[in-house]
Amino acid sequence: MSVIAEVRSSVHRVPLVRPWGPNTTHIHLVVTRVITDDGRAGTGFSWAPNVGGRAAHTLLESDIRDAAIGLPAHPAVAYDRLWWHLHEAGRGGLTTIALAAVDLALWDLRAPAGLVESIGRRRDAVPVYGSGVNRHYGVDELVDQARRWVERGLTAVKIKVGLADLDEDVARVAAVRRVIGPGVRLMLDANQLWDLPRALHAIEAFRPHDPYWIEEPLPADDVQAYARLREGAPGVPIALGENTHTPWQFRDLLTAGACDILQPNVVRVGGVTPFLRIVDLARAFNVPVHPHLLPELSGQLACCLPLPAMVEDVEDASFAALGLLDTAAPPPVRIGDDGLLRPGDGPGLGLRFDVDLLKSTRLDDDGGNS
C-alpha cells in the first residue's frame, strides 16, 4: 500500500454572494493536497463560515502534516491514527474539522470511478430543499426567497426561527406557509437559541403550520434536554447533528432518544470515513440521515444512504454559486428543474477548484489576501 509523502494546505477567504448577516460576509476554505510516495495526489478541503478556518489551516500545516507523513494512504487507517494523535487537543470540533481535509483528499484518491460508486450507489437522485440564513430578512424578503425555491421546483424549504418575539416568528412561518402551500415541506431551524421551556412553547405555536422538523432548538450537546423535548412535544420531529463531531457523540444522541433525524456535517465530523460510521449507527436505530450543507459533497453521500434523504442547498452558498469550482471540469452534482440532485460521473470527489479564484482569495501569513 502506498503511503502519504506530503500534505500541503492553503487557506482562503471567500466572499458570500448573499451575506448570512452583518457579521458573516465570507467563508474560510482550506484546500489540502495529499501526495503519496508513488506520485498520486488527492484534493480535500475543510470549511468554516466564520471562526476556525485559519486555526484548522495551522493545525494541518503543523501537527497533522507531521503525523500524516508515512501513514498508509487509506482513509480509515489514516483517520484513526490521526484522530488518536490529536485527541488530546480536542476529541472533536477544530481537530475533526481539520482532519476532514486529509480524509477527503484520501477519498479523492481512493475513488477513481467516483465517490458514489466507491461507497455504493443506492439511488440515482435525491430531493433538494431550499435553505436560507434569513433571520435578518424582513417578511417580504423572506417570502420572496421562499417563492424562488418553489419556482425552482423544490418540494421542501427551511427557514430560520428564534427571534426574540415568538409572535413575530409565528407570523413569519405563517407567511412562508401561505406562499409555498400545503404540499411543500417546511422545516424550521432555531440554531440552538432556546431553552427547554421556550422550545416546548414554540413548537406548540408552530404546530398549526405543519413543520416537517424543528432543527437544533436547544444547545447541541444538551442530550438530556433533547430527550425531554421529544417526550413533551410529540408529533413534531427533532433534527440534530450539525454541531456534533464524533461517532461516539452521535451514539449518545441515538441511545438517549434525543432526535428523530440526524444531520452530520461531513467536514465537522472529520470526513467521509467517520460520516459513514455515523450512518451505520443511525441505520441500527432506523433514524434517517440528512447531510448538512455542502451540497456538492452531501448530494453524493445522500445517494449512498440506506434510508431516503434530502440535501440542503443554502441559497447562493454552494461552491458552484460562490465561483469556487472550475467550470471547465464536469460538475460534481447537478440540480434539475425537477428539484432533484444527481451526482456527476467524474473521478474522486469530483471537486475541481478554480485556480484563479483560489489565488485571489488566498490569505497570507498576516491574515490579508496575498
Domain range spanning residue 264?
117-343
The C-alpha cell of 207 is what? 404546530
Q: Is residue 267 part of a domain?
A: yes
Q: Is the Cα dihedral 201, 206, 208, 210 positive or negative?
A: negative
Query: What 3 state SS string does the chain have?
Result: CCEEEEEEEEEEEEECCCCCCCCCCEEEEEEEEEEECCCCEEEEEEEECCCCHHHHHHHHHHHHHHHHCCCECCHHHHHHHHHHHHHHHCCCCHHHHHHHHHHHHHHHHHCCCCHHHHHCCCCCCEEEEEECCCCCCCHHHHHHHHHHHHHCCCCEEEEECCCCCHHHHHHHHHHHHHHHCCCCEEEEECCCCCCHHHHHHHHHHHHHHCEEEEECCCCCCCHHHHHHHHHHCCCCCEEECCCCCCHHHHHHHHHCCCCCEECCCCCCCCCHHHHHHHHHHHHHCCCCECCCCCHHHHHHHHCCCCCCCCEEEECCCCCCCCCCECCCCCCCEEECCCCEEEECCCCCCCCCECHHHHHHHEECCCCCEC
The C-alpha cell of 94 is what? 477544530
CA distance 205 to 161: 12
Q: At 169, which CATH number?
A: 3.20.20.120
For residue 250, pLDDT over 90 is answered with yes
Confidence category of residue 369, pLDDT binned at 50, 70, 90: low
Question: Percentage of the chain surpassing pLDDT 70?
Answer: 98
List, for residues 126-173, the tens digit of each pLDDT value. Answer: 999 999 999 999 999 999 999 999 999 999 999 999 999 999 999 999
Q: Is residue 369 part of a domain?
A: no
Looking at 160, 201, 209, 245, which residue is catalytic?
160
List, for residues 2-41, the tens digit of each pLDDT value. Answer: 999 999 999 999 999 999 988 899 999 999 999 999 999 9
Q: Is residue 70 part of a domain?
A: yes
The C-alpha cell of 369 is what? 489576501
CA distance 85 to 71: 12
Instruction: Please give the pLDDT value at position 364.
Output: 72
In a shared domain, residues 71 and 139: no
Instruction: Please give the pLDDT value at position 147.
Output: 98
Q: Which residues pair with 333 in a beta bridge?
A: 343
In a shared domain, residues 176 and 84: no
For residue 365, pLDDT over 80 is answered with no
Question: What is the count of structural domains for the chain?
Answer: 2
Task: Let me know: does 319 contact 334? Beta carbons within 8 Å.
Answer: no
In a shared domain, residues 180 and 222: yes
In a shared domain, residues 268 and 165: yes
In the residue annotation, 160 being an active-site residue is answered as: yes
CA distance 226 to 190: 13
b/e per residue, 208-225, with b = 16+ CB within 10 A? ebebbbbbbbbebeebeb
In a shared domain, residues 47 and 104: yes
In a shared domain, residues 65 and 126: no
Q: Is residue 307 part of a domain?
A: yes
Q: How many CB atoms lie within 10 A of CB 103?
A: 29
Q: Is residue 199 part of a domain?
A: yes
Confidence category of residue 50, pLDDT binned at 50, 70, 90: confident
In a shared domain, residues 199 and 269: yes
Task: Let me know: does 190 contact 217? Beta carbons within 8 Å.
Answer: yes
Q: At 37, which CATH number?
A: 3.30.390.10
CA distance 291 to 181: 25
Looking at 74, 245, 290, 292, which residue is catalytic?
292
Task: Let me know: does 73 contact 26? Beta carbons within 8 Å.
Answer: no
Task: Let me know: does 250 contact 96? Beta carbons within 8 Å.
Answer: no
List, for residues 265-299, the tens digit of each pLDDT value. Answer: 999 999 999 999 999 999 999 999 999 999 999 99
In the residue annotation, 359 being an active-site residue is answered as: no
Q: What is the mean pLDDT of the chain?
A: 96
The C-alpha cell 433514524 sits at 287
The predicted model gives 62-69 an average pLDDT of 98
List, for residues 296-310, the tens digit of each pLDDT value. Answer: 999 999 999 999 999
Instruction: Please give the pLDDT value at position 368.
Output: 59
What is the signed CA dihedral for 344, 346, 349, 350, rounded to 10 degrees? Answer: -80
The predicted model gives 333-360 an average pLDDT of 96
CA distance 292 to 287: 15
Question: Percentage of the chain surpassing pLDDT 90?
Answer: 96
